[in-house]
Copies of this chain bind each other. A is one copy, B any other.
Amino acid sequence: MYSVDRQKLISKLAIPGNTKIILLVLDGLGDTPVNGKTPLQEAKTPNLDSLARESDLGLIIPVLPGITPGSGPGHLALFGYDPIKYQIGRGILEALGTGVEVGEKDVVARGNFATLKDGIVVDRRAGRPPTEESAKVVKILSENIKTIEDVTISFYPGKEHRFVVKFTGENLDDRLTDADPQREGKPMVWAKPLTPEADRMARIVNELIKKIGEVLKDQGRMNFALLRGFSKYPNLPKFGEVYKLKSAAIATYPMYRGIAKLVGMDVLETGQTVADEVETLKKHWEDYDFFYFHVKKTDSYGEDGNFAKKVEVIEEVDKVIPEILRLDPDVIVVTGDHSTPVILKAHSWHPVPFMIKSRYVRMGTSARFDEFECAKGSLGTFYAVDVMTLVLAHAGRLEKYGA
């Protein structure tokens, strides 16, 4: 029942409790067979398989069949937010991914270095400069542009041609069109307000871009910039309030730490390895009742098309499962936010393996955790947006609906 306002429904049914929940997300976990096997089938995973024997299995659809999610929608759905209803601007996602702190009044935008010639945008990505090179140009901007009118401007380097701009000031409005011709070989298209309240912001944005053009006029191909995805910090219903959970995120990458923060989770300090993350989980076990535990590298190696390395990361996670289970969580889920098939070297729409273990599951259908065993699980193929409801039910934290 996809169109239901789940936050509204669940906030009425959720009750506080003492039960402990772990949502273990292996980013981009799902895959398709290469030489007859997916990475999850190829990996030696005695501990995940043993957990599968005591779990209920299924496959989850991140958004809709055939829709490939970005990290934002993939995670929002897992956290129970309808990813069609709650859309997060590109600017804010880029900022989160870059580790930029965004205040409630700030507006952020995603910047592209571009090449302008005789008033025409001839390259929207300035020939994809190396990250080190573009970072230097970002530094030049930071030194030369501090304010536009009474608005403070901050620049943050990104990957290759990308960077982030943050606007800090009073009464800033994000309802603007992109300052971007969208296609190459066209004259610049300036930001336009979508509402009269954004007139001033459009003026500031366009003034900023002109200033950038002046400062960078001798920087060769990176002599101009486009700004897109103007967005403020989105006002999402708070995870903890809706679900009556004290929740924490354990994640190594800024993007995922950022998304967790967006929904109101505490974000714990942790190291760079899966083992570090387990230590963090153990250290804070008593402080929270919900842990979102994110493993990034399954996705990274999927994006690289590196089958062997994706297998290795899965096996690395498998090795820490017993240590996690020794904490004796009431509910543990192992899943992904989307698939990242090695063959595609990119996110995909394929349903994602899912298993849930609690006292109340219909266990015993499978002795393996992989895409095909999950397809036979008694949970069937269902929407990721229903994961949190299922988790809360298995944790004894939902009251009956109706009499």
List the interface of chain A (C-beta within 8 A of B): 1-4, 6, 9, 13, 32-33, 36, 38, 59, 63-73, 82-84, 87-88, 90, 93-94, 229, 341, 343-344, 346-351, 359-365, 371-372, 375-383, 385-386, 388-394, 398-403
A387 to B350, CA, bound (A): 13
Q: Which 10 A-B pairs have the closest CB atoms?
A: A380-B381, A66-B389, A3-B3, A375-B378, A1-B2, A70-B402, A66-B390, A66-B393, A65-B386, A73-B402
Q: Which of B6, B344, B372 contacts A360 (CB 8 A)?
A: B344
Which B residues touch A381, using CB under 8 A? 378-382
A6 to B3, CA, bound (A): 13
Q: Which of B1, B65, B88 contacts A84 (CB 8 A)?
A: B1
A70 to B400, CA, bound (A): 6
Which B residues touch A229, using CB under 8 A? 403
Q: Which of B33, B65, B399, B400 contacts A363 (CB 8 A)?
A: B33
Given the known interface contacts A68-B401, A401-B63, the answer about A32 and B362 at a Cβ–Cβ threshold of 8 Å is yes
Q: Classify the interface of chain A: helix, strand, loop or mixed.
A: loop
Minimal beta-carbon separation of A292 from chain B (angstroms): 17
Q: List 10 A-B pairs, Cβ < 8 Å.
A: A2-B2, A3-B4, A9-B64, A36-B364, A65-B386, A66-B389, A66-B390, A83-B402, A93-B402, A378-B381
* Contact present for A402 and B88 (CB under 8 Å): yes
Given the known interface contacts A66-B386, A362-B372, the answer about A90 and B403 at a Cβ–Cβ threshold of 8 Å is yes
A336 to B107, CA, bound (A): 50
* Contact present for B72 and A393 (CB under 8 Å): no
Which B residues touch A393, using CB under 8 A? 66-68, 348-349
* Contact present for B400 and A64 (CB under 8 Å): no
Q: Which of B82, B365, B401 contacts A372 (CB 8 A)?
A: B365
* Contact present for A360 and B375 (CB under 8 Å): no
A351 to B149, CA, bound (A): 60
7 other A-B residue contacts (CB within 8 Å) besides A4-B64, A68-B400, A69-B401: A33-B363, A59-B380, A64-B389, A65-B379, A229-B403, A350-B360, A378-B381
Which B residues touch A68, using CB under 8 A? 393, 398-401
* Contact present for A362 and B33 (CB under 8 Å): yes
A93 to B403, CA, bound (A): 7
Minimal beta-carbon separation of A72 from chain B (angstroms): 5
Which B residues touch A9, using CB under 8 A? 64, 67, 84
* Contact present for A401 and B65 (CB under 8 Å): no
Q: Which of B13, B88, B93 contacts A67 (CB 8 A)?
A: B13
Minimal beta-carbon separation of A58 from chain B (angstroms): 8
Minimal beta-carbon separation of A78 from chain B (angstroms): 13
Given the known interface contacts A73-B402, A375-B365, the answer about A84 and B4 at a Cβ–Cβ threshold of 8 Å is yes
* Contact present for B378 and A1 (CB under 8 Å): no
* Contact present for A386 and B70 (CB under 8 Å): no
Given the known interface contacts A90-B403, A94-B403, the answer about A63 and B362 at a Cβ–Cβ threshold of 8 Å is no
